[in-house]
């Protein structure tokens, strides 16, 4: 890994997990944060633009409120986040300020990156901060997010931010130093993997569960993040954040796994489609439709075998092969009720069933991303 250098990248998104920033007994790990800020300052001085996706608001708030380790009710988590977000933002401002850097806080909910207009608004705000040489510090807005409208983990949020902003590298700082053939805590024979060319089902099978009770995401969410990032042309690194100056540790050649970006990344409008975290529904298609999609054609109702979900026209849906593997995502041209009615029908039969002249494609190829975020077919 000695050949791996962060200085080769111009726009870098760095994700920090809660367990790295917060000690459950003493609160914020200020010394560690200062060392990370040193790293960010050095990269910024070298001309890089840095975006930070920082967990820790709830974890920090619960220590400040004395809530202990017990499971929190939703309203308690939201209250903890309200307290923690202020303290966390202040800590980032202070740490980065020592290097002459200004920080700006961005709090997002799932809808801010899933709904097109809000996605563009968020991108414009963050772009402006970068133009002003500020460091955006981004977190999920835990004070208002509920299970129905939350990302669920900051790994995927970081990937969504990285692709939204056209970052050429995403660094996930974790409590593990990279990808292994099996969870190393469970399997002493697990082998370290320094480079991943493509996230295949075999690679995904190596993922384990979360290693820390303060962390929401395990290796599986990191691989989900990797599919989003690499599919849009963003490289990804997983490395240990537990050491001091964790970014410069990469420069020193310490252990890290590099996930190479796709050689044929999706761009522009389709980046937004491919990066959708939670599809509103699913369409299972036949083998003929799979071949048609791979050849660049639209998805016609005739190839649809099953419809699930309560989606509306224009929502993002996942497309599944007969063996249930996800092969694509796209913006559906029909509401769920009408999609059910016309599934399996030829184009010439649609008008008679619906009572009006309708679109010939269930999903037009212009609104479709096949294999766009690392899905293996």
Contacts of 345 (CB under 8 A, 6+ apart): 301, 302, 353
Is 15 marked as binding a ligand?
Answer: yes
Cα–Cα distances (Å) from 257 to 156, 173, 225, 333, in that order, read 17, 11, 14, 40
Q: How many CA atoms lie within 13 A of 311 on its CB side?
A: 24
Which residues, listed in sequence order, are joined to residue 12 by a DSSP beta bridge? Answer: 50, 169
Is 103 marked as binding a ligand?
Answer: no
Is 215 marked as binding a ligand?
Answer: no
* Full strand arrangement of the beta sheet holding 169-174: 102-108, 134-140, 49-54, 11-16, 169-174, 235-240, 256-259, 195-196
Contacts of 261 (CB under 8 A, 6+ apart): 168, 229, 230, 232, 233, 234, 235
Beta strands in 197-322 (DSSP E): 235-240, 256-259, 281-285, 304-309, 316-320
Is 202 marked as binding a ligand?
Answer: no
Length in residues, the chain: 377
**Rounded CA gap, 57 and 63, in Å?**
10
**149 phi and psi, to 5 degrees?**
-125, 30
Structure token pair of residue 21: 């920033």
3-state secondary structure of 81: helix
Q: How many CA atoms lie within 13 A of 239 on its CB side?
A: 28
Is 142 marked as binding a ligand?
Answer: yes
Question: What is the enclosing helix (H) or strand (E) of 122?
Answer: helix 116-131
Structure token pair of residue 37: 């800020």
Structure token pair of residue 200: 């295949």
Per DSSP, 173 falls in state: E
Structure token pair of residue 217: 């995401």
Is 35 marked as binding a ligand?
Answer: no
Binding residues for substrate: 55, 142, 154
The binding site comprises 15, 55, 142, 154, 174-175
Question: Which parts are annotated binding residues for ATP?
Answer: 15, 174-175
């Amino acid at each position: 890994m000695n050949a791996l250098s962060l200085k080769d990248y111009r726009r870098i998104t760095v994700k920090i997990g809660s367990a790295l920033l917060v000690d459950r007994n003493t609160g914020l790990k200020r010394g560690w944060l200062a060392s990370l800020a040193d790293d960010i300052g050095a990269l910024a001085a070298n001309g890089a633009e840095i975006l930070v996706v920082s967990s820790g608001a709830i974890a920090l708030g619960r220590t400040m409120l004395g809530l202990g380790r017990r499971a929190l009710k939703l309203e308690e988590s939201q209250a903890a986040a309200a307290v923690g977000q202020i303290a966390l933002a202040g800590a980032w401002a202070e740490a980065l300020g020592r290097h002459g850097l200004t920080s700006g806080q961005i709090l997002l909910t799932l809808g801010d990156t899933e709904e097109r207009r809000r996605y563009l608004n968020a991108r414009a705000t963050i772009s402006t901060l970068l133009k002003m040489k500020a460091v955006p510090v981004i977190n999920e807005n835990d004070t208002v997010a509920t299970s129905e409208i939350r990302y669920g983990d900051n790994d995927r949020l970081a990937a969504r931010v990285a692709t939204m902003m056209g970052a050429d590298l995403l660094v996930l700082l974790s409590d593990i130093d990279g990808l292994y053939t099996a969870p190393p805590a469970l399997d002493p024979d697990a082998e370290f993997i320094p480079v991943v060319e493509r996230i295949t089902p075999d690679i995904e099978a190596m993922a384990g569960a979360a290693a820390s009770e303060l962390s929401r995401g395990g290796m599986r969410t990191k691989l989900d993040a990797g599919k989003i990032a690499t599919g849009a042309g963003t490289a990804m690194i997983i490395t240990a954040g537990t050491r001091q100056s964790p970014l410069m540790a990469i420069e020193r050649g310490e252990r890290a796994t590099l996930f190479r970006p796709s050689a044929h990344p999706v761009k522009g409008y389709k980046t937004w489609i491919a990066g959708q975290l939670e599809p509103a529904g699913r369409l299972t298609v036949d083998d003929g439709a799979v071949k048609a999609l791979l050849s660049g054609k639209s998805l016609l109702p005739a190839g649809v075998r099953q419809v699930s979900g309560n989606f509306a026209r224009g929502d993002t849906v996942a497309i599944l092969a007969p063996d249930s593997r996800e092969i694509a995502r796209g913006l559906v041209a029909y509401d769920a009720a009408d999609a059910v009615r016309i599934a399996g029908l030829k184009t010439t039969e649609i008008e008679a069933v619906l009572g009006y002249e309708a679109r010939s494609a269930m999903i037009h190829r212009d609104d479709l991303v096949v294999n766009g975020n690392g899905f293996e077919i």
